[in-house]
């Protein structure tokens, strides 16, 4: 479902129908209904007319992997045009979180990421993003409490559709999820972060930093050549001041690249005084990347250096390690299998 209530109202009025029906349809979609005939409070005549001019988007589960370690479930979804994307259900004591994709592939070219290696196809619609959440909730039979847009793609490269998705899932007539239960992850598109600040959505923002200076960042993240770290940090500070939300800086620990104590000290100096949190990520081993995961010793020393400097730091818990739950790996293997 790719329409907000005002758009549904216009659609129904063009069909000669009463616009109050829009709210009923929207509520059914939010509950996860798959068939128009299941919208039982609509007349049979209206349902028949809807079937001629509309459809409820539904993703086909091509593969599903469930971790024997922690119950994390990874979904490979097939879209109506045959493209495939990934989503992940993560189970925590405080509730269930779904990590969704925002694009089919990624243009950003980060050298350590599997998402970019299979190539970019197109942006996803707001309805396709919503359908990932609805489909997983229906399959798992669980209430989804949190959404993370951290799967395949760069959310701010698909800005308008992502904003529309956030509004759709926040709407009290649908899933009614609070903005504070949503996280958008970006590799650092500084102008879009500034634009997002003006949306007045107190969404959690996660920024993939992975380096404390431009030279190192440019070597592993091409986006660094377009937007300097100074411009990125400035945009992040403005966002925290306007939203009151703490920024999370994601930092993938890559052996011999960005995991030295000197690098940790540079990072601490860069982030000093910011309302932020650093999330250290044991880098996932991606075939062909040439990168290795930092040792546990280096990871813990890096964390200790940041904490000692007053930077709140955690190490991301590895979920679904036995099913390659990192984004992009399952899609890439599926495409290689079918090539």
Non-local CB neighbours of 83 within 8 Å, separated by 6+ positions? 104, 121, 122
Decide: 107 and 154 in contact? Cβ < 8 Å.
yes
Distance CA 63, CA 76 (A): 5
Decide: 73 and 66 in contact? Cβ < 8 Å.
yes
**Largest Cα–Cα distance in the chain?**
70
DSSP labels, 54-97:
------EEEEEEE-TTT--EEEEEEPTTS-EEEEEEEEETTEEE
Non-local CB neighbours of 177 within 8 Å, separated by 6+ positions? 144, 145, 147, 169, 170
Q: Please choose, from the candidates 227, 255, 248, 261, the residue with its C-alpha nearest in 3D space to the C-alpha of residue 316.
A: 248
Non-local CB neighbours of 85 within 8 Å, separated by 6+ positions? 76, 77, 79, 101, 104, 124, 132, 151, 152, 331
The structure tokens 């079937």 sit at 51
Which class for 259: exposed (0-12), middle (13-18), buried (19 or more C-beta within 10 A)? buried
Q: Which residues are catalytic?
A: 86, 327
Distance CA 272, CA 259 (A): 19
Decide: 175 and 166 in contact? Cβ < 8 Å.
no
Phi, psi of 162 (to 5 degrees): -65, -45
Decide: 185 and 150 in contact? Cβ < 8 Å.
yes
Cα–Cα distances in angstroms (integers) from residue 280 to residues 1, 82, 267, 283, in the given order: 36, 35, 12, 9
């Amino acid at each position: 479902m790719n329409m907000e209530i005002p758009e549904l109202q216009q659609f129904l009025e063009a069909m000669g129908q009463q616009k109050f029906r829009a709210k009923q349809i929207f509520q059914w979609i939010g509950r996860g209904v798959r068939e128009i005939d299941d919208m039982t409070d609509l007349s049979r005549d209206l349902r028949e007319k809807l079937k001629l001019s509309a459809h409820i988007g539904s993703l086909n589960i091509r593969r599903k992997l469930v971790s024997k370690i922690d119950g994390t479930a990874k979904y490979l979804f097939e879209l109506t045009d045959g493209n495939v994307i990934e989503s992940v259900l993560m189970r925590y004591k405080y509730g269930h979180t779904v990590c969704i994709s925002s694009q089919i592939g990624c243009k950003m070219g980060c050298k350590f990421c599997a998402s970019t290696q299979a190539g970019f196809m197109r942006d996803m619609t707001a309805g396709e993003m919503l359908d990932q959440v609805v489909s997983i909730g229906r399959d798992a039979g669980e209430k989804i409490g949190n959404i993370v847009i951290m799967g395949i793609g760069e959310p701010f490269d698909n800005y308008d559709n992502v904003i529309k998705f956030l509004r759709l899932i926040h709407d009290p007539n649908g899933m009614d999820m609070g903005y504070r239960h949503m996280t958008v992850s970006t590799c650092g598109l500084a102008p879009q972060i500034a634009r997002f600040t003006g949306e007045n959505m107190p969404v959690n923002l996660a920024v993939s930093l992975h380096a404390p200076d431009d030279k190192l960042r440019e070597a592993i993240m091409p986006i660094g050549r377009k937007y300097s770290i100074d411009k990125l940090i400035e945009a992040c500070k403005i966002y925290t001041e306007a939203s009151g939300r703490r920024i999370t800086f994601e930092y993938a620990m890559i052996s011999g690249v960005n995991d030295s104590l000197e690098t940790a000290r540079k990072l601490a100096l860069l982030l000093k005084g910011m309302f932020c949190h650093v999330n250290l990520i044991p880098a996932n081993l991606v075939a062909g990347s040439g990168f290795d995961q930092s040792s546990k010793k280096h990871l813990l020393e890096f964390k200790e250096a940041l904490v000692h400097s007053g930077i709140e730091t955690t190490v991301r818990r590895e979920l679904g390690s036995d099913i390659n739950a990192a984004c992009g790996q399952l899609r890439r293997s599926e495409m290689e299998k079918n090539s």
